[in-house]
Amino acid sequence: MKYGYFDDTKREYVITQPDTPLPWLNYMGSQAYFGLISNTAGGYSFYRDARLRRLTRYRYNNAPLDMGGRYIYLRDDNKATFWSPSWQPTRNKLDHYTCRQGLGYTTISSTYAQIEASTRYFVPLDETLEIWELNLSNQRNETAALSIFSSIEFCLWDAQDDATNYQRNFNTGQVEIEAGIIYHKTEYRERRNHFAYFACSEALTGFDTQREAFLGPYRAWDNPQVVEQGQAGNSEAHGWSPIGSHHVKVKLEPGETRRIIFLLGYYENPPDQKFDPPNSQIINKQGVKPIITHYLNGDHVQTAFAALASYWDKLLAKFQVATPNEHTNRMVNLWNAYQCMVTFNLSRSASFFESGIGRGMGYRDSNQDLLGFVHKIPDRARERILDIAATQLESGGAYHQYQPLTKKGNDAIGSNFNDDPLWLVLSVTAYLKESGDGNILDEMVPYDNQAGSEQPLYEHLQRSMQYTLERLGPHGLPLIGRADWNDCLNLNAFSAQPGESFQTTTNKEGKVAESVFIAGLFVLAANEMAALARVRNLDAEVRHYQDVAKTMQSTIMEHGWDGSWFLRAYDDFSDKVGSKSCAEGQIFIEPQGMCIMAGIGLESGEAQQALQAVNEHLATPHGIVLHQPAYSKYYLHLGEISSYPPGYKENAGIFCHTNPWIMIAEALLGNGNMAHDYYLRINPSAREVIGDIHRSEPYVYPQMIAGRDAATFGEAKNSWLTGTAAWNYVAITHWILGIRPTYKGLQVAPVIPQEWPGFEASRIFRGVTYKISVKRGGPGNKVSLTVEGQAIEGNVIPLLDKSEVIVEAMLW
Ligand code: GLC
Ligand code: GLC
């Protein structure tokens, strides 16, 4: 069952019914101002930080779901009926409905009582505002007299405080209404120098800014009193719940169309120029007024929308493919690339599943997100790397999260997730291979943002590696700390108190429990460090990293190999986790993927054995589960992993983030069929046809698909903000299609399904466009490369001084 279709030419997913199984989201904004928007116009907006600078309120877990958003009401003033053209919140039965989810914009169109309404929502590039462009058209053969009411509910900036601190909040709300523009200025009188504004292109019949006046006492958003009666109350909010609503009346002749523009935006004044006149309490609007005037002009809106479209043209052009598989093409060329941008921007902070309050930017998450993004805008990746590294601690350790607004590490969560530091090595080396910008390694970057502690970025990488070496356990494997990649494998928590955070509770000293996964990650990172040192001609460093990699590798083979697969860990009693000898949780996906990606067991056969075991024990038609058997009860010594019911999340769910590691591992062993088969199992486009089982958006990856132990096997949750986006992108583009950046040039080493006759790709790398055509001449993965008509040795295209390079690759 499908709820829409892909419009590949328009680069949109078209949702054809409003009551999708879950709200199907999209994101707006690319740099500082962001909003999430559902297919029925639900969602919220924020400036940089979904917690600290929230503009509007949103109630996800409401009944009905997805309440609060960018709602417009239309009222037939002759018949005194009203409806929501985006379906929510009135949920009238619409005669026709579509929602087009596009790149940074959402267009919701509907017809009701022969009034066609189409609203396009987007954030112009480099602006801190969003535009709602409403086009109305009268399909009746008589004049329509309509009232239009806009509506949003302001958040009092700190979303956490907004949702809890009512004794204060009910008193602080303040607005100004001037020339038909609604300004939200709660706390502007004291320490804030920012405000929000909500403007409309038309002359107003009225407005409202107090929620109760608009809705009426004890009424909800589906039935506002003002809309019902057809007359705004001109209410001014003093405390309680400030909202923004414009009331506009229009008369539309038969066939007539009308465009109405609404702007919602964020603006900051210099702290010493907050008020106008200076000794008043009135917002200084001199800076913001020209911006508002500019975007209330329809021509400027069209220009801004065109600029957004060409921005995406440029970004997507960095990598385009034509393969025999449409789901591969669609995800690589468009949706997966797009999702990588969104995860890069927002990490795990704000989605339908993440309230935007708790997480900020994850350290390990952001480093991984960068892997799928770096080729798009290397300069932004560079800036991100420096931000992340500046939160690193002198010990080489890392805050698990940091706030995007302050860029400071989050003390509430703290540190000691022992895998965290190593991911920095992967992101930095990915950036270096993509950009060739070795200077970044000499950038002086502080520790924990402390002035005076600056050291070159390269030193940060060295400390990241050292951090692991200084924390080895009884078997010589890395100590796990609070958790490794699997946030829920909490081997030192021993938490028996309800409500205690598994992430921050540590009841054990942490000197025993070890992670084979971190060991694998360490080897991978050490290999990267050795390769980097080689490029920099640091011979002693090359030897050092080769040595530590080799030692760790033999430790893994000695203590981390369970006979047919890699062990997961040793717990606080030094007992095995992820071993045949365990009652439950006998085999885990993570160490298989990570150790093989690090090259362990590739030649000696263990890698193939481990993948065989993954296939036998973990692979399902809906993807590969985290472990088997699932934990049937809570184990104090294992932590949160066993807190989830079997088949969900970290307890044997299909945690999609890890699946690409197995795809990469299969590709490293030359198994193109298997790698691509796994790729398709979780590919959202390929799962579109089972929309009633999958339930989440068919255009983006979810974090998790319920595993085979779950009652709802195959059901996806936590869409959008997941490391799955970056890793799938890396798996398909770097390893299956095999086009990957190296220090010396672009490498072409496809490991594709045998039945593919080949594929075409266009990749922009260091400013050069490579037109690559791959043809299969035999069943294998050996590559012969011809560059500009000349056969070359090996499979790395040398860096040439040209704008376009033609490459032919023959597989045999
Ligand atoms: C979530 C976290 C990520 C973690 C994963 C597995 O996706 O954001 O950091 O690795 O869960 O626990
Ligand atoms: C990760 C996990 C989740 C866990 C959370 C704790 O996101 O996916 O299961 O509860 O971390 O913050």
Strand, helix or coil at 569?
strand
Name the closest ligand to CA 658.
1
**Cβ-based burial of 45 (10 A; exposed 0-12, middle 13-18, buried ≥19):** buried
Q: What is the pLDDT of residue 730?
A: 99
For residue 502, which atom of ligand 2 is closest to its CA?
6
Say if residues 116 and 109 touch (Cβ distance below 8 Å).
yes
Contacts of residue 498, Cβ cutoff 8 Å, sequence gap at least 6: none
| CA 752 from centre of chain | 27
How far is residue 485's CA from residue 517's CA, in Å, rounded to a whole number?
8
Cα(415) to centroid(ligand 1), Å: 15
CA 131/CA 121 separation, integer angstroms: 6
The ligand that comes nearest to the alpha carbon of residue 649 is: 2
Report the distance separating Cα 160 and Cα 54, nearest Å. 10
Answer whether 488 contacts ligand 1 (Cβ < 6 A): yes
pTM above 0.85, yes or no: yes
CA of 705 to the centre of ligand 2 (A): 15
Structure tokens at 70: 């960018």
Phi-psi region at 54: left, alpha or beta (left = phi > 0; alpha = psi -120 to 50): beta
Of ligand 1's atoms, which has the minimum distance to the CA of residue 486? 12
Residue that is written with structure tokens 């350790």 in the block: 397
120 contacts 107 by C-beta, under 8 angstroms:
yes
In whole angstroms, give the CA distance from residue 308 to residue 30.
10
One-letter identity of residue 591: P
User: Whose CA is closest to atom 10 on ligand 2?
Assistant: 488
How many CA atoms lie less than 13 Å away from 550 in the CB half-sphere? 7
* Ranges of the chain whose pLDDT falls below 70: none
Residue 489 Cα distances to 109, 400, 635, 678, 768, angstroms:
46, 15, 11, 25, 44
534, amino acid identity? R
Q: State the residue for tokens 């001449």.
A: 777
Catalytic residue (choose from 49, 487, 562, 709): 487
Nearest C-alpha to atom 12 of ligand 2 is from which residue? 503
CA distance 714 to 566: 26
Cβ contact 732:684 at 8 Å:
no
For residue 473, the tally of other CB atoms under 10 A from its CB is: 19
- Other C-beta atoms closer than 10 Å to the C-beta of 212 total 17
How close is the Cα of 503 to the center of ligand 2, in Å? 8
- Name the packing angle between helices 298-316 and 288-295 (round to 10°): 90
Burial of 289 (0-12, 13-18, 19+ CB in 10 A): middle
Smallest CA separation from ligand 1 atom 9, residue: 365
d(CA 62, CA 304): 34
Q: Residue 359's closest CA among 418, 417, 404?
A: 404
Residue to mutate (ligand 1; options 371, 480, 503, 657; most atoms within 8 A of CB) = 657
Q: What is the pLDDT of residues 716-768, one digit of tens each?
A: 999 999 999 999 999 999 999 999 999 999 999 999 999 999 999 999 999 99
Using CA atoms, how far apart are residues 100 and 553, in angstroms rounded to an integer? Answer: 50
User: Does the annotation count 547 as an active-site position?
Assistant: no
- Rounded Cα distance between 544 and 529, Å, is 9
List, in sequence order, every residue forming a beta bridge with 320; answer none if it has no partner.
Answer: 762
| DSSP 3-state of 131 | strand
Please, are residues 740 and 348 in contact by the beta-carbon 8 Å criterion?
A: no
**Tell me, what's the pLDDT at 360?**
84
Distance CA 672, CA 778 (A): 13
In sequence order, the 6+-apart residues with CB closer than 8 A to the CB of 454 are 444, 445, 446
Write the DSSP assignment of 59-111 as a string of letters: BTTSSSSSB-BSEEEEEETTTTEEE-TTSTTT-PPPSEEEEEEETTEEEEEEE
What residues flank ligand 2, with Cβ below 6 Å? 487-488, 503, 640, 649-650
Is 365 a pocket residue for ligand 1 (Cβ < 6 Å)? yes
Which atom of ligand 2 approaches the CA of 644 most closely? 9
- Give long-range contacts, CB 8 A cutoff, 24+ apart: 216-221: 220/89, 221/67, 221/68, 221/71, 221/89, 221/151
Beta-carbon-side half-sphere exposure of residue 215 (alpha carbons within 13 Å):
18
Residue with tokens 């398909």: 732
